Amino acid sequence: MTLRKVKKMSVYKISFGTPEETVPSKFAPHPLCEVYDGTALFGDKFSFKSTRRGSELSLPVDPSIEIYGFGLQLKRFNHKGTKKYIRPNSDPIKDTGDTHAPVPFFVTNAGFGIYVDTARYATFYCGRELRPTAGEVNISGGSVPDIANADGSTFVDALYAVREGGENNVVTVDIPTASGVDVYYITGENILSVVSQYNMLSGGGCMPPMWGLGCCYRADMRFSESEVLAIARELRMSDIPCDVLGLEPSWQTRTYSSSFVWNTEKFPDPEGMVDKLRKDGFRVNLWEQSFIHPSSPLFSEMLNKSGNYLVWNGLVPDYALESARKTLADYHKTNFVDMGISSFKLDECDSGDYTGGWSFPDHTSFPSGADGEQYHALFGTLYSQAVTASLGPRRTFGQIRNLGSLAASYPYVLYSDLYNHKDFVLGVVNSGFSGLLWAPEVRHAENREDMLRRIETAVFSAETLINACYLRELPWKKHGCTDEVRELLRTRMSLVPYLFSAFYEYHTMGKPPVRALVCDFSEEPESLTCENEYLFGDSMIVAPIISGTSERDVWLPSGEWYDFFTGQKYEGGTHHVTVTHIPVFVRGGTLLPVASPVNYIDRNTCFNITLHAYGSVDGNTSCTLVSDSDETYNATYTVHTVTLSTRGSLSPLYNITGVEIIK
Ligand code: GAL
């Protein structure tokens, strides 16, 4: 892994018509890249119309172009030829574009990406044929296929198969209501470079405290204080790594909507509990959602800072107002942060149109001037801004169910109530295209194998999250696989230093720590459709297995790769593998820092690190380890370059003990 500066930031802004007041960039952090005026260079590429519907923006594209992105898409990898409706939704069960975290940004394999700065539910038509102008005749189009196809596909399948468009292919964006929009045209040598620049435009990737990269366990929502302490004790006694213990709704007197007041019947001494947990190495995370119950001390102060509809009888605060963000931040600081709470889980800020209509309607009015549609697109980002501010200078790493545009710097991982493992893997692969992090969280399992397969995916993702919110027991106990789960979670802990360096690159260069293979290897055609594998840091490829099989095809880019668990060597290409563990491969020529696992991370932690040298490494091969001076936003970072011969203490955090050669 090398740290280098992205030399050429090529982000161009082009304005069309009169953009709206309420747009994501208005609330986003400062860009950490230069933004050039792109009107002269790229303005002509687009055609723009302001119509009675709103704005229509078109961009001619080569029909062979591949299109990725649009936020946390759980149903499709490559969006070429499809229609995507960019709308927040808590129940995104179809490939419509709806998602917990929609982002009006896509990236192509043709050296550019486009971010459309709108809080409207825009629709992207990813490759449609324009009618030819007078004089031109377009005679392209498929012939009617044979009814009986040898491969068993039906006549209808063939008829409707996505075909390449003709010469007049365009990507069109339909933006309702707006009479103009700003577009960011981002150029780069490959997908990774375009995505990294989008992340720098967003203020750089987030930099979690190291404990955020350990394991998070969320306890049963029915638990009382003593039960929470008991499960914490059990985690420690059974030697299961855990950094963060999350409390689910019942710590509050009222939830759905929320009171933001401790339920002292269940939790008689919250301060004492947090103290005990902290002493035992746990950070405490609180669940909440931002609909404010009439019994809440926040209610009267938020009354004039909220929209004109209630949700679950609670106010919907307008966090587009600085004063509303401050009210929430001050309250959280005094009541939760000052007692030692380290992070929060911000639930239900996506829209729940199909789950009982529990969110606010699109025509809601908010005092900031935003309407419900716009506020849905901004809710998660603004809500997390307010809560993050309550922590002051302390860095945090929490969970959230909605984020949107320009959100890379927000230290939150997305999660879902959906639970299809295959979709969860696609979430891991896709989230990195749009400045998002996603946790394929583990809850219950069908059987032992399902539990282990899910834990494996969670171990190799941005956050290892066990959400036992409806499970009184440690979820793996009933499947009799505690030893295997412990081993997997220890594997996660052994990779925290490696992952921390990857996050540092996310923070300073915008490079996503977890990303699709097409980001780095788009010149190899197999990568264009490789939707069930991903890079974990720069040097590891992860190819999860879904329960029910122990084999799969794995595509590896050109070069040499080594099975992380067995050391077996592979050449680039497609391999059919049969395994007992998740297929993980390390790039030949890598020096991988592997730590002796610890059960939790605090400021006294010292990682003893063995360097795993894969394939042909020599004195010039290096990797980096990053240490921070403290856990604040003002921390200074030291980047240690480590080579084959490095030994001993690099900083209080790292001690290099030896090398293992894997050939
Ligand atoms: C859901 C959330 C779950 C859990 C649950 C508690 O909305 O997605 O993870 O927190 O609420 O009631």
Determine the pLDDT at residue 356: 75
What CATH number labels 3-201? 2.60.40.1760
* Sign of the Cα pseudo-torsion (74, 75, 81, 85, in order): negative
Residue nearest to atom 11 of ligand 1 (CA): 347
Say if CB 228 and CB 218 are below 8 A apart: no
Strand 591-595 and strand 464-467: the pairing is unpaired
Strand 607-614 and strand 622-628: the pairing is unpaired
| Whether residue 138 has pLDDT greater than 60 | no
Whole-number Å distance, alpha carbon 469 to ligand 1 midpoint, is 7
Residue 288 Cβ contacting ligand 1 at under 6 Å: no
Whole-number Å distance, alpha carbon 644 to ligand 1 midpoint, is 46
Structure tokens of 364?
A: 């809601």
What does pLDDT average to over the chain?
94
For the stretch 572-619, pLDDT in tens is 999 999 999 999 999 999 999 999 999 999 999 999 999 999 999 999
For the stretch 369-402, pLDDT in tens is 999 999 999 999 999 999 999 999 999 999 999 9
Determine the pLDDT at residue 7: 39
Whole-number Å distance, alpha carbon 345 to ligand 1 midpoint, is 9
Split at pLDDT 50, 70, 90, the class of 438 is very high
Determine the pLDDT at residue 168: 64
Beta bridge partners of 292: 258, 315
| Whether residue 496 has pLDDT greater than 50 | yes
Split at pLDDT 50, 70, 90, the class of 50 is very high
For the stretch 275-333, pLDDT in tens is 999 999 999 999 999 999 999 999 999 999 999 999 999 999 999 999 999 999 999 99
Residue 348 Cβ contacting ligand 1 at under 6 Å: yes
What CATH number labels 216-500? 3.20.20.80
| Whether residue 90 has pLDDT greater than 70 | yes
For the stretch 508-543, pLDDT in tens is 999 999 999 999 999 999 999 999 999 999 999 999
E strand or H helix at 331: helix 322-335
Distances (CA, A) of 315 to 256, 323, 326: 11, 15, 16
Domain spans, the chain: 3-201, 216-500
Beta strands in 188-262, from DSSP E residues, in sequence order:
215-218, 244-247
SS3 sequence, 364-428? CECCCCCEHHHHHHHHHHHHHHHHHHHCCCECCCEEECCCCCCCCCCCEEECCCCCCHHHHHHHH
Determine the pLDDT at residue 353: 73
Split at pLDDT 50, 70, 90, the class of 166 is low
Q: Tokens 């927000």: give the residue.
A: 410
Beta bridge partners of 553: 576
Determine the pLDDT at residue 298: 98
Residue 38 Cβ contacting ligand 1 at under 6 Å: no
Determine the pLDDT at residue 127: 87
Distance (Å, rounded) from C-alpha 522 to C-alpha 516?
10
Ligand 1 pocket test: which of 216, 258, 469, 470 has the largest number of ligand atoms within 8 Å of its C-beta?
469
Distance (Å, rounded) from C-alpha 105 to C-alpha 195?
10
CA proximity to 218, closest of 193, 190, 253, 242? 242
Determine the pLDDT at residue 4: 37
Percent of residues, the chain, with pLDDT higher than 70: 93
Say if CB 226 and CB 151 are below 8 A apart: no
Residue 471 Cβ contacting ligand 1 at under 6 Å: no
Determine the pLDDT at residue 156: 63
| Whether residue 428 has pLDDT greater than 80 | yes
CB proximity list for 279: less than 8 A, separation 6 or greater = none
Atom of ligand 1 nearest to the CA of 416: 8
Determine the pLDDT at residue 163: 53
Residue 551 CA from chain centroid, whole number: 27
Residue 417 Cβ contacting ligand 1 at under 6 Å: yes
Say if CB 647 and CB 547 are below 8 A apart: no
Ligand 1 pocket test: which of 287, 345, 354, 413 has the largest number of ligand atoms within 8 Å of its C-beta?
287
For the stretch 232-279, pLDDT in tens is 999 999 999 999 999 999 999 999 999 999 999 999 999 999 999 999
Say if CB 550 and CB 577 are below 8 A apart: no
Residue 347 Cβ contacting ligand 1 at under 6 Å: yes
Residue 560 Cβ contacting ligand 1 at under 6 Å: no
Determine the pLDDT at residue 169: 86
